[in-house]
Amino acid sequence: MNHYEAAREKYRLAGVDTEAVIEKMMKIPVSLHCWQGDDVKGFDQDGPLTGGIQTTGNYPGKARTPQELMADMEQALSLMPGKKKLNLHASYAVFGPGQEVDRDKLEPKHFEKWVEFAKKHQMGIDFNPTFFSHPKVKDGLTLSSPDEETRKFWIEHGKACIRISEYFAKETGVPCVMNIWTGDGYKDIPADRMGPRLRYKDSIEQILSQPFDKNLVKPCVESKVFGIGVESYTAGSAEFALSFAATHDGVLPLMDNGHYHPTEMVSDKIPALLCFFPEIALHVTRPVRWDSDHVVLYDDETREIAKEIVRNDALDRVYIALDYFDASINRISAWAVGFRSFQKALLSALCTPYAELRRLQEENRMTELMVMQENLKMYPLGEVWEEYCRRCQVAVDSQMFEEIEKYEKDVLSVRK
């Protein structure tokens, strides 16, 4: 009996069919964000990264062109088991000769190269309007700006992104999750907290007035507690985003687990929202003391997020995406480690006998519940993970870094 077969038998005795788990794992899409590969720079402007976010580090080999970014992403994808989606920001439009337009005039044709890329890799595409790093961010504000010309520009950008999202869904045959997030806010205590939020609400409503097929486009509203330069107030607070989604048909709440106070756990919020929303969306990151967007690891909160999705039978109700950007390490490795870490969390969740654990809780057998939960932590999950990687024809953990090093030597190190 090989190592996997022994692990399979041990899990079978606990009531878990690892063959069924592996089969299910291969069908769970996780959306991979393009912006890890170039430190959120994008292709439509040469200025600094602004709007409440920031990257740190200057590791060599950053992608500088659409072609380099796609090549790097292909290398990262080759190291990832399971089903993927592509997550794009509008600032990653690929303009042909004479096609350059501002963000309010973006069209599907500016993303044809990305559709080709997605089809090549059998992926759907998720999308994000880019409300940052642009000259028309006025006084740190976009959709909540008191300047009507500024607000109109960004509303038109949002409408353009609705049209592009529908194009993605039609081309790939996979619904497009379109996420609305802004860093709008104030560095110090504002005199008016409600006014910007009323303008923000009106702006999103105007964006959503753009006709679209709700089966193809899944609009989301994402909150944030604070950002760089907007430490005291954000228009899109958690209460705002959640209330907007709850009162507008077809709009999903999107939770980024870096966008809350340090003691708040998104894992605990998932089952609460699933009581009321048919579908929700996630951006999974790793905040270190603040929204630092560190690479996702196989840590406690990542595992808890996956647990809540799986044990509430919500894999078809939760849209999972990754969102981090570490510029201090090899970017291919960052992509691969983060993706594989969340896959491991999903695998761990699927290898847990929740029916039995739930029964112990409902019968108030809490001592036995604690013992069983602790025992499961020592089960041979690693053997199941390696078998999953082999069946997906990707490197197991012990082989992955060798491939990353080779790509860095052959490709990244020659970029200047």
Rounded to a whole number, what is the distance in angstroms from the first to the last CA of the chain?
51
Phi, psi of 229 (to 5 degrees): 85, -5
One-letter amino acid identity for 152? Answer: K
44: annotated active-site residue: no
> Could you say which of 41, 85, 283, 307 is catalytic?
283
Three-state SS for 244-288 is HHHHCCCCEEEEECCCCCCCCCHHHHHHHHHCCCCCEEEEECECC
Active-site residue identified among 114, 154, 181, 385:
181
- Our CA dihedral for 168, 221, 331, 23, rounded to 10 degrees, sits at -70
Nearest to 36 by CA among 79, 81, 82, 87: 87
- Catalytic residue (choose from 84, 110, 157, 259): 259
Task: Tell me, yes or no, if 89 is annotated catalytic.
Answer: no
Q: Which of 39, 166, 222, 304 is catalytic?
A: 222
Q: Which spans in 78-181 are helix H?
A: 112-120, 148-172
Reply yes or no on whether 256 is catalytic: yes
313 backbone φψ class: left, alpha, beta (φ>0; ψ -120 to 50):
left
Among residues 256, 326, 383, 408, the one annotated as catalytic is 256
The radius of gyration computed from the CA coordinates of the chain, to the nearest angstrom, equals 22
Residues in CB range of 367: below 8 A, 6 or more apart: none
**H helices of 209-252, where?**
238-247
Catalytic residue, candidates 224, 294, 307, 344: 224
Could you identify the residue written with the tokens 């709850």?
246
Q: Of 72, 293, 387, 408, which residue is the catalytic one? A: 293
259 catalytic, yes or no? Answer: yes
The length of the chain, given as a count of residues: 416
What's the gap between Cα 314 and its chain centre? 17
The secondary element (H helix, E strand) that includes residue 83 is: strand 83-89
The torsion region of residue 61 among left (phi > 0), alpha (psi -120 to 50) and beta comes to: left
From 39, 156, 166, 323, active-site residue: 323
| Residues whose CB is less than 8 angstroms from the CB of residue 40 and which lie 6 or more positions away in sequence, other chains included | 49, 53, 55, 89, 133, 325
Residue 181 appears among annotated catalytic residues: yes
Nearest to 335 by CA among 129, 121, 86, 93: 86
Q: Which two tokens stand for residue 316?
A: 């078809």
Q: Which of 39, 291, 301, 304 is catalytic?
A: 291
Determine whether 224 is an active site residue.
yes
Known catalytic membership, residue 121: no
Distance between alpha carbon 250 and the CA centroid of its chain, in Å?
Answer: 20
Contact 51, 137 (CB under 8 A): yes
CA 298 centroid distance within chain: 16
Residue 96: burial class (beta carbons within 10 Å; 0-12, 13-18, 19+):
exposed
Q: Which residues are identified as catalytic?
A: 181, 222, 224, 256, 259, 283, 291, 293, 323
